[in-house]
Amino acid sequence: MPAKKLREFLDSHNVEYLTISHSQAYTAQRIAELTHIPGKELAKTVIVKLDDTFAMAVLPASRRVDLDYLKRGAAAKEVEVATEAEFKDLFPDCELGAMPPFGNLYDMKVYVAEQLTDDEDIAFNAGSHTELVKLAYKDFERLVAPTVIALP
């Protein structure tokens, strides 16, 4: 079952979504393999610090976050990937490293890779290492209002 906060939010906005269960996996590429979702279509959430403020970078599972592009896209002076120790308490309803890309639920800005906007649907961790949520990208965009950035 998706994280309670995410599930309640989606249900309260009458969003249609699909929950996909899979064997326990910790990397986005492995989850893509297990669920037969191409790595370019599965979104992973990377917690970053932009000028010492936490934010979410959402990109295809097959890609790595490019800090220089993110820095330009976010108009930040400094950008670094946050460590799990730094963000572990920010997502109390999620397993560590399995947070969904709904920064609005956690008071964080969201930056989404332009490549993900090309797909009709978006799939992502639902708060655990055994479950994904898949929904229409247009619903994600409407609810999260992410900043779209070009990544190489």
Distance between CA atoms of residues 117 and 47, nearest Å: 20
* Diameter over CA atoms, the chain: 40
Taking only the tens place, the pLDDT of each residue in 19-51 is 998 899 888 888 888 888 887 789 999 999 999
Q: Classify the C-alpha dihedral 132-18-152-71 as positive or negative.
A: negative
- What is the predicted pLDDT for the residue at 66? 92
Find out whether 133 and 15 touch, Cβ atoms under 8 Å.
no
- What is the predicted pLDDT for the residue at 147? 96
Q: Which domain does 80 fall in, by range?
A: 4-149
* Strand-pair category, 53-60 with 121-125: unpaired
- What is the predicted pLDDT for the residue at 148? 95
- What is the predicted pLDDT for the residue at 98? 93
Residues 21, 59, 17: CA angle, nearest 5 degrees: 40
Positions of the chain with pLDDT lower than 70, given as ranges: 1-2
Q: What is the CATH number of the domain that holds 112?
A: 3.90.960.10
- What domain count does the chain have? 1
